[in-house]
A and B are shown apart, each in its own frame.
Chain A
Amino acid sequence: MKLTAAVLSLAAKLLSGATVRWFECQPDSCQRIYFANHTSHLDALILWASLPRLVREVTRPVAAKDYWIKGPLRRYIAQTFNALLIDRDEIKVHNSPIDLMLKEMGSKYSLIVFPEGTRNTGEEMQEFKSGLYHLSRKRPDLELMPVYIDNLNRVLPRGEFLPVPLLSSITIGPPIWLEPKENKHDFLNRARAAVRRLKDI
């Protein structure tokens, strides 16, 4: 399993030529939520692969269950990356994905989330879904790390299965936290701006 993960992440790194920049922050194995813009199927894989090994071992990408349990190959890949699969169709009050994420994180794991919910097709990022806000309210100690992924949508756009090996870049920015008394709408806008800002650095 470890070997597959190493091989897959090396292949992904070579293919995407990703440069990783830690802007005003450092890699750390403390509990964090990495939240990024979502443009390609490779996003989670490349972001996960570009973390240092020790950090990677305690970081789990959050992914859609309906997509990743189709077929043995996808299931295997999801397992390799220790992905946390969320059921998008069966969201109920007593079984909310937020509670599942918090339970699975425990006091050890960090998560990679894509708050846009689905891959965006246009140039601009979509509005963020509220999950990030709820996570942060229940666990205010988590560091929320904004991540901007550039050019990966050209490597493997939506609906394509053959990649083109262009160079992409991943920028990880300084953490943000939920401010006291900050409302949901303001917080989500601020989080989105934190990701957007990394594009021009």
Chain B
Amino acid sequence: MTEVFTTSATTLLLLAQFGGGLKAAAGAPLLPRVRGMLDLRTFILLGTVLGLLAAASIIGRVLRRSADTTLNPAMVKTFRSRVNAWWTMYAILIAGFLVDFVFLSTATTVVLFGLVSFWALREYITMTPTRRGDHRTLFWTFFLFTPLQYVLVGIGSFCFELYTTMIPVYASLFIPARIAISGDPKRFLERVAKIQAGLLICVYALSHAPALLSLELHTSAGQPWAGSRAGLLFYFVLLVQLNDVFQYVWGQLLGKHVIAEQINSSKTWEGVIGGLMSSMLLSMLLYWATPFSLWEAPCIALVVSLAGFAGTMTMSAVKRDRGVSDYGTLVQGHAGVLDRIDSICFAAPVFFHITRYFFSAL
């Protein structure tokens, strides 16, 4: 009996040493990784958002109950379904953070983002016609490249070169080759492009958001930043989502000049510019939760919001091409995961790279 205990204790010790060695080899000391998950500032940020969500839910309820409202009932319904979607999203994200906080890892959050990618890709390919000859290619796209990308992101900075090149280089070369081998030349380029674009947007781009969790953050002056990386990820998701809301609200209030009627009739210049300004203001209000300074935060918010806007427009164009209003399911009428995350997908790489080059130890 004692022997068993001694052996297992030794094994554990060896494992711990090995793990430490791996981390040292990866250039990431153990301590900041443990410290980096959650801190007081993040809890304040999370608490504020939960409070705002609760307020939004109550407003939604009151609006639905009050009969003599001047508001369009369809708008109230959209608002309520949006708020419910946010509840789900933040509940899942926060649950992921808490599990990771308890187990001192980043795995749960990375896996959660991986599942979102998987689901988004599923919606995208469902909407996109493919041919029989693409079947095997799609199988590898779903069951090899998507999980592999998130495994590499989960391993962290050590795999930076791999996770930034695997999909744009190797998967992008594999897809046409595999389709060619299947022997169906009809609309070859179109089919290749569809699958490549889906993988790039739904998986590659989105995976840059959880990749934030492996950065060693400091301020632009080079001072180490003691805050939490999970908090920074949360700040990013919040910023992009609220930017969508700001664009919508300003569009409804002032919107006159529609940008591209046939692509997305609700995006107006007034809405987008109003949204950008509001997001910049918001980022200045929340700058204490990030390693950015008071003037850096709005610059980053500007770039991130523009990327988010680009994402919404791009994914709208795909929807209009396919003649559907939402990704959701084959059944029309309820929005899917991809409808909610299109702006995050486009904003994640640019936010990651800015943070990595200017605010982290490379």
Binding site for B on A (CB under 8 A): 17, 19, 21, 150-151, 154, 157, 160, 162-169
Contact = CB atoms under 8 A, between A and B. Distances in A.
B327 to A, nearest CB: 9
Contacts of B130: 154
B189 interface: no
Given A162-B136, A164-B138, A151 B331 contact: no
B136 A169 contact: no
A151 B126 contact: yes
B132 A157 contact: yes
A169 B329 contact: yes
B358 interface: no
A166 B119 CA distance: 9
Given A151-B126, A166-B126, A167-B122, A19 B138 contact: no
B126 A21 contact: no
The secondary structure that dominates the B interface is helix
B241 to A, nearest CB: 24
A-B pairs with lowest CB-CB distance, top 3:
A169-B330, A167-B126, A164-B138
Contacts of A164: 125, 135, 138-139, 142
B123 A167 contact: yes
A162 B139 CA distance: 7
Contacts of A162: 135-136, 139
11 contacts: A17-B329, A19-B330, A19-B331, A151-B330, A157-B132, A160-B135, A162-B139, A165-B122, A166-B122, A166-B126, A169-B331
B260 to A, nearest CB: 28
A78 to B, nearest CB: 25
Interface centre among B123, B126, B139 (most CB of A within 10 A): B126
Contacts, number: 40
A162 B140 CA distance: 10
A167 B326 CA distance: 14
A24 to B, nearest CB: 15
A167 B138 contact: no
A21 B334 CA distance: 14
Contacts of A150: 330
Nearest to A170: B330
Nearest to A156: B135
Contacts of A151: 126, 330
Interface in B89-146: 118, 122-123, 125-126, 130, 132, 135-136, 138-139, 142
Contacts of A19: 329-331
Interface centre among A17, A157, A164 (most CB of B within 10 A): A164
Given A168-B330, A169-B329, A169-B331, A17 B139 contact: no
Contacts of A21: 331
A17 B142 CA distance: 14
A17 B329 CA distance: 9
Nearest to A160: B135
Nearest to A166: B126
Contact of A157 (B126, B135, B330, B331): B135
